[in-house]
Homo-oligomer: A and B are copies of this chain.
Amino acid sequence: MTTTPTTSTGGSASASAHALYGPVAADLPRVSEALGSIATNVEFAFLQKMLENALAGTGKMMRPAIALLGGRLGTYDLDRLVPLAASVELLHTATLVHDDVIDEAQARRGEPTPNALFGNAASVMLGDYMFAHAADFIAQTDNTRVVRTFARTLMMMANGELKQDMTVFEYSEDVQRYLDRITGKTASLFGTAAEGGAMVAGAPAEQVEAMRVYGLHLGIAFQIVDDILDFTGDPAVMGKPVGSDLAGGTLTLPTILYMQRKPDDNPVKRAFEGVRRKANIDRAIREIVESDLLEESMHTALRYGEEARNALQVLPAGEVRDTLSNILDYVFARKS
């Protein structure tokens, strides 16, 4: 797998999306259209500009694609599946908008954040406006089970974000806490996208459950890879310096493993205690990058990937299952 969807919504993205998302690729433009619709008929030019800006980042559409693939397991009714897929992507994007306010982030993937462009107050409102539309989309599925699943996911995401922010610059070597946190923050929405699509389509219960397990484990793997890329990615492509999570006080898997390995001589601990912060952080980043800890982290990600792949065995053999498997490959192959 070397397919690399671009962040643009133009022709090349469609072509690569087609290669990656197979039987649902042709329907993703309808999801983009639904997302775009919330920026039209907006009374304020300023709000429209903010919305277009926030939605411009919805390039890969991995979550919507997984939701639609779940829909392929039963009655593939796009009138319900497109709102579901749009809701998933909008929830994800709204969360990013608020996260950037909370973290005072100035750039994401090399682009200025909404708070950098429009200020904090406007960005809080922008996120709320997007949450409201996400709620409206999910209500359009006309399925209370899906609505409840989404509400629970929103709670898990809020919890995960809280856990991350309340433990910033807190010294902890606990891998389990890290996994709990990324399960809430990232994986729960992947799980709900996958499960929700199957639910809306009325797929058999064991397939709905298989999709949930697939999505959840894929999401954990996705986030671990993300956290590895924070150390290994090209800063020009990532739009942020190497080791920016650690520099910002967030401990991810590679750093937690590093701390476990160096209980006595630990620059992260000293930096978090305020001792020569920059020098100690720089040393930790360098030692992590030069160690085998990123490979070890990747092994953990791969274990979750295998759990996701095992879950797919419950699904009937065919294009849908193969595509879900390809998405898993892509998660590990991506470079940004």
A142 contacts the other chain (CB 8 A): yes
Whether A131 touches B144, Cβ cut-off 8 Å, given contacts A124-B98, A125-B161, A165-B125, is no
A157 contacts the other chain (CB 8 A): yes
Whether A44 touches B166, Cβ cut-off 8 Å, given contacts A101-B121, A124-B102, is yes
User: Which residues of B have CB within 8 Å of A135?
Assistant: 135, 147, 150-151, 154-155
Interface 1/0 per residue, A277-306 and B, CB below 8 Å: 000000000000000000000000000000
Interface 1/0 per residue, A138-162 and B, CB below 8 Å: 1110111001101110110111011
Of the candidates B47, B138, B147, the one whose C-beta lies within 8 Å of that of A162 is B47
- Identify whether the interface residues of A are mostly helix, strand, loop, or mixed: helix
Whether A138 touches B151, Cβ cut-off 8 Å, given contacts A101-B121, A124-B101, A144-B144, is yes
Give the distance in Å from the alpha carbon of A51 to the alpha carbon of B147 in the complex.
Answer: 24
User: Which residues of B have CB within 8 Å of A103?
Assistant: 121
User: Which residues of B have CB within 8 Å of A334?
Assistant: none
Nearest chain B CB to A318's CB is how many angstroms away? Answer: 32
Are A132 and B148 neighbours in the complex by a CB distance under 8 Å? no
| Nearest B-chain residue to A153, judged by Cβ | B132
Give the distance in Å from the alpha carbon of A157 to the alpha carbon of B128 in the complex.
Answer: 9
Are B46 and A166 neighbours in the complex by a CB distance under 8 Å? yes
User: Which residues of B have CB within 8 Å of A43?
Assistant: 159, 163
Are B144 and A147 neighbours in the complex by a CB distance under 8 Å? yes
A335 contacts the other chain (CB 8 A): no
Seed contacts A98-B125, A128-B161, A143-B144; 12 additional CB < 8 Å A-B pairs: A101-B120, A102-B125, A122-B165, A128-B158, A129-B155, A129-B162, A132-B155, A133-B155, A135-B135, A135-B147, A135-B154, A136-B148
